[in-house]
Chains A and B, each alone.
Chain A
């Protein structure tokens, strides 16, 4: 019993908690819960005749090592980051679609500009550019779709742990597919503009 009186339980517990706190996945509230657990466990083990020190060693051993606990807590505590990642991807998709929508204004403006510069009558933008420009309003679709998906994740607790990686891959692939026709639609009038500039400087 002399031994147990000499053992500083609070100090040992503090050191043990400090070591656990080095694991980033374990939050402050988790530590508080684990501390109560070890105190309960020590009290219980002492009634079985173990010294305070022995009780502390057994109790902390039963709780498990930081290396084992960290990943398990990480699975639960990482979810806020996961939701945040979903939000960021949604923002990215929305901004990207807005950007695509904005640059699709170019093919409409450029022919007038060329015409003005060249002193000739207004020319029509290439047919493909015109067609893509007319379908511009469809660019609202992807952000709405992404928003609906994110809402599903937030509302349904069973889906909350769905990783953001799949969403990111689908979004990136979708945006790439959209960017391709938009890019061509914008490039076509630019190419035409260059051609005209070239012919202008040759023939005049």
Chain B
């Protein structure tokens, strides 16, 4: 299980990355992340919505209420240009953390 802080910090890049594959809605986003992380990333599900609304406010994503095949009204979220740009920046930052840690741990084989 990821720490609370890391979950909070990674929510925006994860949502942006999932939406790169196409539009989605809250519940499906959570399912996808649970599946991809093998259950290690557990969001308090309701907390995702304020984050989505914040991202929409920041111009990263946009949303639309639409009827799904099941007849249920759902709010779909889709990536905007600003979101793609933000994702590129996030990617760079997370990759630099990842690379630094990887290099460090490679040179310290006995520390773990």
Binary interface encoding of chain B residues 59-92 relative to chain A, with 1 for a CB under 8 A from any of its CBs, else 0: 1000000000000111100000000000000000
Q: How far is the CB of B47 from chain A (nearest CB, A)?
A: 6
Size bin of chain A's contact surface: 20 to 34
B44 within 8 A of A: yes
Per DSSP, are chain B's interface residues mostly helix, strand or loop, or mixed?
A: helix
Contact between chains at B45 and A158 (CB < 8 Å)? no
Chain B window 25-48, contacts with chain A (Cβ cutoff 8 Å), 1 for yes, 0 for no? 111100100000000000011110
List of A residues within 8 angstroms of B93 by Cβ: none
Q: Is the CB of A64 within 8 A of B27?
A: no
Residues in chain B near residue A68, CB distance under 8 A:
44, 46-47
Across the interface, B49 reaches (CB within 8 A) one of A30, A158, A161, namely: A30
A166 to B84, CA, bound (A): 32
B21: Cβ under 8 A from any A Cβ = no
> Chain B, interface size: which category?
20 to 34
A157 to B46, Cβ gap below 8 A? no
Q: Residue of A at shortest CB range from B44?
A: A64
List chain A residues, Cβ under 8 A from B53: 30, 73, 76-77
* Inter-subunit contact A40/B46 (CB<8 Å): no
CA distance A124 to B50 in the complex (A): 64
In the complex the two chains form, what is the Cα distance from A39 to B45 in whole Å?
13
B41 to chain A: closest CB distance in Å? Answer: 13
B49 to A: closest C-beta gap in Å: 6
Residues of B within 8 A of A (CB): 25-28, 31, 44-47, 49-51, 53-54, 57-59, 72-75
**Inter-chain pairs besides A34-B46, A64-B47, A157-B59, 16 sampled, C-beta below 8 Å:** A33-B75, A34-B49, A36-B26, A36-B27, A36-B75, A37-B49, A39-B72, A41-B45, A44-B27, A44-B31, A62-B44, A63-B45, A64-B45, A72-B47, A72-B51, A157-B58
